[in-house]
Chain A
Amino acid sequence: MTALLETRNITQRFSGLTANSDVSISVGRGEIVGLIGPNGAGKSTLFNLIAGAFKPTEGSIIFNGEDVTALPAAERCQRGIGRTFQVVKSFESMTVIENVIVGALVRTTVMREARRKAQEVLDFCGLGGRADVLASDLVPSEKRRLEVARALATEPKLLLLDEVLTGLTPVESQKGVELVRRVRDTGITVLMVEHVMEIVMPLVDRAIVLDLGKVLIEGKPTDVVRDPKVISAYLGDRHAVGA
């Protein structure tokens, strides 16, 4: 079976700075893949390129057998790429359910259907009871859930999660982990950027480590965390010696 998502030799330069260089990764159907790496490794850039926030300087992005490199974000969403934002971008003047309805409207223009779908997704994400609250009145962890709910309402094949588990309390992030598992169980492929290793590693099937804009290593999470290259990327060479 072919991969759901493939990036081929992606290079992204911002004037002088090369954020991604020659990055080729693939994500299979039904996987949870973690994209990790120290600060400034180019995770967010790669993530934004996949979501269509901007076009890569070089290389191409293949999604579901189709070259989507030139497509704007809205059309990628229609093709089945859903995303969340690292800094939450709720529609603050709208209620929680209205936020989600915007997402649901990609698949239907019948309002009753969109509303039903939105409520269903909210229940799934544990926000069912907060449907009629203004998004601006949510607490941060709820806003993160809303981001996920909104993206899920677009019925994605691939869900891109940008640091949804970062900065949460242990209880909240445990709930988040469960949510991601349940999402995958519904058949959605998940690619997540995180830099808190302890949370991500037990969750993902495969981890891809980026460093200085390049793929450093990829593989099973248990192998990746022991790899000297990864340890040195995170902690510096001195700590890698013993490993």
Chain B
Amino acid sequence: MDKAFIQRRRRDLVVAACLAAIAAAVPMFVKDVYVQNIMVLTLLYGALSQSWNILSGYCGQISLGHALYFGLGAYTTAILFTKFGVLPWFGMLSGGVLSAIIAMALGYPCFRLGGHYFVIATIVIAEITLLLFHNWDWAGAALGIDIPVRRDSWVTFQFTRSKLPYFYFALGLACVAWFVTWWLEDSKWGYWWRAVKDNPVAAESLGVDVFNSKMGAAAVSAFLVAIGGSFYAQFVSYIDPESVMGFQFSLLMALPAVLGGIGTLWGPLLGAVILIPLTELTRSFIGGSGRGIDLIVYGGLIIAISLARPQGLVSLFSRKPKPAANPVREAVAS
């Protein structure tokens, strides 16, 4: 029994390594900057969704306020760089740690809420923070922060002439987010999270520390999302509250995971690979009419996919054998 399980884990790892290698080679053939831009965004949202999936997919605490951590990451990096000259790399780390701490501080009261009330709380908190940043003069208020352009360099993590460094960073981030999920999946935390999602009362009776497993999931999830936010700030080199903390980010983190398969290892990446190019392409090809046809098409496609595959697209690749013959069930069926 052990063998099949270990084989599956290994196969996931090998497939991931192959995909990463292929992805790394793609820019050699694709020189178009527009397409490269889409690839960066796809990897970024893949990584964000993977991180969101840890708290909301595995642990079952649906958050629609992860834009908060994305924005915190972006703002921390930008403020530290523009006001104190701190390099983005440290800004990134600080943003991650800050977000993890804030996620736990918010989790302390919010994880006592059940079901829909938790979701509402996450939305409200993210919106309140958005308003605070809108009115916080020191942090640029509604005008936002312009990140001054210096020489292209990995030290300041700025590249004006090429998208490729951003691409490789985004690829690295997606790999890290995937690997963290892979690693946690077969750890005490992974099992605890899934138990908490399925049935907290039963989990508790089996010695699971329900509250702290939610806190742990929130911290890991927020940390990784904030790294993504920091990266985004460097990538676009200008941030304002709406462009890094708006509600759409919360949705764009949740959608790929939901579409690809919530609470699965591959779902978020698969979802992002389909969803993000779709977003960009519908926008650029039919978005110019000014009538929002792109959004109608986009929304329609999402509905179509979710109707066709309610468990997520990952179920298309499911290797799970049909449930072993069950005598009782067959007797009932015949």
Binding site for B on A (CB under 8 A): 51, 53, 72-75, 77-78, 82-83, 85, 89-94, 97-98, 101-103, 105-106, 109, 111-112, 114-116, 119, 129-134, 137, 139, 150-151, 153-154
Contact = CB atoms under 8 A, between A and B. Distances in A.
A133 to B, nearest CB: 6
A80 B276 CA distance: 50
A109 B207 CA distance: 13
A106 B209 CA distance: 10
B201 A89 contact: yes
B324 interface: yes
Given A74-B208, A77-B205, A83-B205, A91 B195 contact: yes
B187 interface: yes
26 contacts: A74-B205, A77-B206, A78-B207, A82-B205, A83-B205, A85-B201, A91-B194, A91-B198, A91-B202, A92-B198, A92-B199, A93-B197, A93-B198, A94-B194, A94-B198, A97-B1, A102-B203, A102-B208, A103-B207, A105-B188, A114-B188, A115-B5, A119-B2, A139-B326, A151-B206, A153-B206
Contact of B209 (A74, A103, A114, A153): A74
A73 B204 contact: yes
Interface in B316-334: 323-324, 326, 328-329
A93 B320 CA distance: 13
A98 B209 CA distance: 17
Interface string B1-37: 1101100000000000000000000000000000000
B324 A133 contact: yes
B192 A102 contact: yes
A106 B207 contact: yes
Nearest to B200: A89
Contacts of A97: 1
Given A74-B207, A129-B324, A89 B199 contact: yes
Nearest to B210: A74
B267 interface: no
Contacts of B263: 93
B191 interface: yes
Nearest to B332: A139
Nearest to B187: A111
B195 A111 contact: no
Contacts of B201: 53, 85, 89
Given A130-B324, A137-B326, A106 B206 contact: yes
Contacts of B326: 137, 139
A81 B194 CA distance: 22
Contacts of B197: 93
B324 to A, nearest CB: 6
Contact of B207 (A93, A101, A137, A154): A154
Interface of B: 1-2, 4-5, 186-188, 191-192, 194-195, 197-199, 201-210, 263, 323-324, 326, 328-329
B204 A74 contact: yes
B324 A105 contact: no
Given A78-B207, A94-B194, A119-B1, 19 more contacts: A73-B204, A74-B204, A74-B205, A74-B207, A74-B210, A77-B205, A83-B205, A102-B191, A102-B203, A102-B208, A105-B191, A109-B187, A115-B2, A116-B2, A119-B2, A129-B324, A133-B323, A151-B206, A154-B207
A139 B206 contact: no
A102 B205 contact: no
Contacts of B323: 133-134, 137
Contacts of A75: 207
A151 B205 CA distance: 8
A121 to B, nearest CB: 12
Contacts of A139: 326, 328-329
B32 to A, nearest CB: 42
A77 B203 CA distance: 10
Contacts of B210: 74
Nearest to B198: A91
A153 B208 CA distance: 13
A153 B206 CA distance: 9
Contacts of A153: 206
Q: Which of B4, B199, B202, B323 gathers most chain A CB within 10 Å?
A: B202
A91 B202 CA distance: 8
A103 B197 CA distance: 15
Contacts of A53: 201, 205
B182 to A, nearest CB: 13
Contact of A94 (B1, B195, B204, B329): B195
Nearest to B329: A139
Contacts of A74: 204-205, 207-210
Contacts of A51: 205
Which are the 5 A-B pairs with shortest beta-carbon distances?
A106-B207, A77-B207, A89-B202, A91-B198, A137-B323
Given A115-B2, A119-B1, A132-B1, A72 B204 contact: yes
